Chain A
Amino acid sequence: MPIDVKMPQLGESVTEGTIGRWLKQPGEAIEEFEPLLEVTTDKVDTEVPATIKGMLSEILVPEGETVRVGTVIARLIEASEAASNSVAPALPVQAIASRAPISPVVARLANEYKLNLDDIQGSGGGGRVTKKDVEAFLAQRSSSATATPTVMSDGEAVLNPQAVVDPAAAPTLAPPVLAPTAPGYPESPPLQRQRVAVDAAIPERPTEVSGLGPDDELVPLTPMRRAIAQHMVHSKQTAPHVTTVMEVDLHRVVAHRARHRADFERQGVKLTFTAYFVEATVAALREVGIVNSSYAEGGIVQHHRIHVGVAVALPDGLIVPVIKDADDKSLLGLARAVNDLAQRARLRRLLPDEVQGGTFSITNHGVGGSLFAMPIINQPQAAILGVGAIEKRAVVVSENGMDALAIRPMCYLSLTLDHRVIDGATGDAFLTVAKRILENYSTAQL
């Protein structure tokens, strides 16, 4: 009796996943919990482990194919059966149409305009990408391009659409003028329907294939690259970004870290500066709670739990694992979490839920030497903290009413906020708390 392997539910909001790589081939033995395949979603790359010990009998969805959650993607045979079963494993299937169906017109338009339908949000039944979705997508694309629109043929050109439709040109969307109707049936006015992108603004394809010069090379988009692109555009088009910057003196943090680093090391934890920033962030979020929120049409969703995402750079992009309930954790706990998540992120071993549900994010852009940056908010959160490089700078310090020059490890903290939710002053209040925490870190504090 073969056991179905289904595309797992990779978190609440995820409805589909892409087969990244099959780690086993049909016929190969597999242990329970042994990774069977890599799945890529717009949030995470992860491995899906086997649910039983046995053998992979058939692969139903090939690599690169995106399917809806719950779709059967492979079949396993239990060990007891696998041993006795000498039936040759089924060959992998090249392509299985298990997504919402693609209608002929959508298939044609996708081909003509070289579209990847994964880029288009489907509004049809079962999330199907409809003709209107494609038209809206093209309209949006053309509105930002300068290409002269051509009329998309509705008429006789059907038998040879390629002959008349210029793939590089965008269609005009006004309906054609129709024959006059008979008396008694007043002609309906031409319909000027608004065609806008559906709920999510969808990023323009940055590289049009037709713009490829002889000296250029087209690097195909990885799922991660595409997801990042979508998310970034979506965020920028959704939230009015405002960035505010403060400078923080980290000499106490540095001192604390120097003192406790070895202790942490003994407990198997590498004490990074990031842990301090997370701790300061948690404190700031507690004090200026509105920053830990999301904008919604019905109002501002204030989150009472604090889940802090920490961006981790990867060779081909970045990922933001989330420290759940960061406010429950000590510095040690935070450091351990940061270590663990960062390491597993680089190994692509994050669990789907570990990249979801963040209520606030931190990006440590300073690791590359960047002093300060204006990061893009990780939607639907209300703000993101950018941490610049820690540099020793000569600063004026005042002690007991005396000003003096000092050499201090300094760092710029930038807070980019969603101005729909937070005003500048609130952002400053947040940074003020973070700054206070970091600058007044007690050496003994743990």
Chain B
Amino acid sequence: MEMTLLEAIRAGLDEAMAADERVFIFGEDVGKRGGVFRVTEGLADKYGEARVMDSPLAESIIVGASIGAACYGLRPVAEIQFADFIWPATNQIVSEAARMRYRSNGVWGCPMVIRAPYGGGIHGALYHSQSIEAFFAHVPGLKVVAPSTPYDAKALIKAAIADPDPVLFLEHKKAYRLIKGEVPEEAYEVPIGKAEVKRAGSDLTIITFGLMLHYALEAAEKLASSAGLQAEVVDLRTIRPLDTATILQSVRKTGKALIIHEDGLTGGIGGEIAALVAEHAFEYLDGPVMRLAGPDIPAMPFAASLEHEYLLSVDDILDKLQAIAAY
């Protein structure tokens, strides 16, 4: 059946909670209100407020308590209301959750999920628009997942909950209701750590995720109709661990790569992917590996004109594709 991205995530949470009593949701406004974006709507009624628990307005304890609960043996799904608010919990995520297994020599682990709506284009300004994947993709011991389609989102939230290690699960806010897609009734799986070719092509490769995936697919269609060139679009789905095999296979085939992310350019995940390609697919490259990303400014401004200027558009992508194709 057709679902929005948001509905698919909710459906995944619902199924995970139904299947495993250890699973609980912990975050601000997740209970009666069902979350500010309504992702957890109805779940408190269905599973009780103890399993869909409103947390105090304190991000570090949302994550810190989830770590303790995970060590105890539950399967916490922590919700950070906006990814922008995650920073007070950074110490708990980076220094505690992600290091628990390593520092205990494999004895302890943190099977927990931290959901965080991210991304801009919703007039959210500096503190409701951030993309945070690059910060956390740097952290060994943490998995970073960012599905772009309802199909992937439902399966990946379940995979994240089932995962024995901490998973930061990023949900693009603008895509929540904008993106709709078929989600099967029957059970299916999408593994963490596996990218997917969302559009096949042989002329160049686009590597992206999140809302940008959808823009990239649109740009790829435009490129096909205007220039007869076929861009292959790789949806990362998991930011860490990166699916290097899929990325490299595509770039080795096409010889040209464009990496797109909404997050700022410098130090973005695109740099990592570019380095990977340069290192392992060098002899297959037929042009410079290119990145298309947000500007290096502190965050997305509020005024519509400024926000619009920040965000990449389908035409921006198309322009870049044409430049790469012409190289």
Contact of A158 with B200 in the complex, beta carbons under 8 Å: no
B269 in contact (CB, < 8 A): no
With both chains docked as a complex, state the minimum distance between the C-beta of A437 and any C-beta of chain B, in angstroms: 53
- Measured in the bound complex, the distance between the Cα atoms of B201 and A43 in whole Å is 40
Given known pairs A105-B284, A124-B326, A131-B255, the reply for A183 and B196 (CB within 8 Å) is: no
- Which residues of chain A come closer than 8 Å to B282, judged between CB atoms? 104
- Which residues of chain B come closer than 8 Å to A181, judged between CB atoms? 196-200
- Which residues of chain B come closer than 8 Å to A179, judged between CB atoms? 196-197
- Measured in the bound complex, the distance between the Cα atoms of B233 and A181 in whole Å is 11
A125 in contact (CB, < 8 A): yes
- Which residues of chain A come closer than 8 Å to B281, judged between CB atoms? 158
**Chain A interface secondary structure, helix, strand, loop or mixed?**
loop
- Measured in the bound complex, the distance between the Cα atoms of B202 and A155 in whole Å is 14
- Measured in the bound complex, the distance between the Cα atoms of B296 and A172 in whole Å is 43
- Which residues of chain B come closer than 8 Å to A183, judged between CB atoms? 151, 181-184
Contact of A184 with B151 in the complex, beta carbons under 8 Å: yes
Interface residue tally of chain A, by bracket? 20 to 34
Given known pairs A154-B252, A183-B151, A185-B217, the reply for A105 and B181 (CB within 8 Å) is: no
Interface centre among A124, A125, A131, A154 (most CB of B within 10 A): A154
- Measured in the bound complex, the distance between the Cα atoms of B250 and A154 in whole Å is 8
Task: Pick from B197, B202, B230, B255: contact of A105, CB below 8 A.
Answer: B255
Interface centre among A107, A128, A158 (most CB of B within 10 A): A158
- Interface stretch among A83-91, A186-194, A211-219, A380-388? A186-194
- Measured in the bound complex, the distance between the Cα atoms of B299 and A424 in whole Å is 75
Q: Quick one: CB contact mask for A103-130 with B, threshold 8 Å, 1 for yes?
A: 1111110000000000000001100101
Interface centre among B152, B198, B285, B286 (most CB of A within 10 A): B286
Contact of B286 with A158 in the complex, beta carbons under 8 Å: no
Contact of B199 with A184 in the complex, beta carbons under 8 Å: no
A182 in contact (CB, < 8 A): yes
Given known pairs A154-B252, A184-B149, the reply for A161 and B196 (CB within 8 Å) is: no
Q: Other than A155-B252, A158-B248, give 12 A-B pairs with Cβ distance below 8 A.
A: A105-B283, A105-B284, A105-B285, A124-B326, A124-B327, A155-B249, A158-B284, A176-B253, A182-B196, A188-B199, A191-B201, A193-B230
12 chain-A/chain-B pairs, Cβ below 8 angstroms: A103-B287, A154-B253, A159-B280, A182-B149, A182-B196, A182-B198, A183-B151, A184-B151, A184-B181, A185-B198, A185-B199, A193-B202
User: What is B's interface to A at a CB cutoff of 8 Å?
Assistant: 149-152, 180-184, 196-202, 217, 230, 232, 248-249, 252-253, 255, 280-287, 326-327
User: What is A's interface to B at a CB cutoff of 8 Å?
Assistant: 103-108, 124-125, 128, 130-132, 154-155, 158-159, 161, 175-176, 178-179, 181-185, 187-188, 190-191, 193
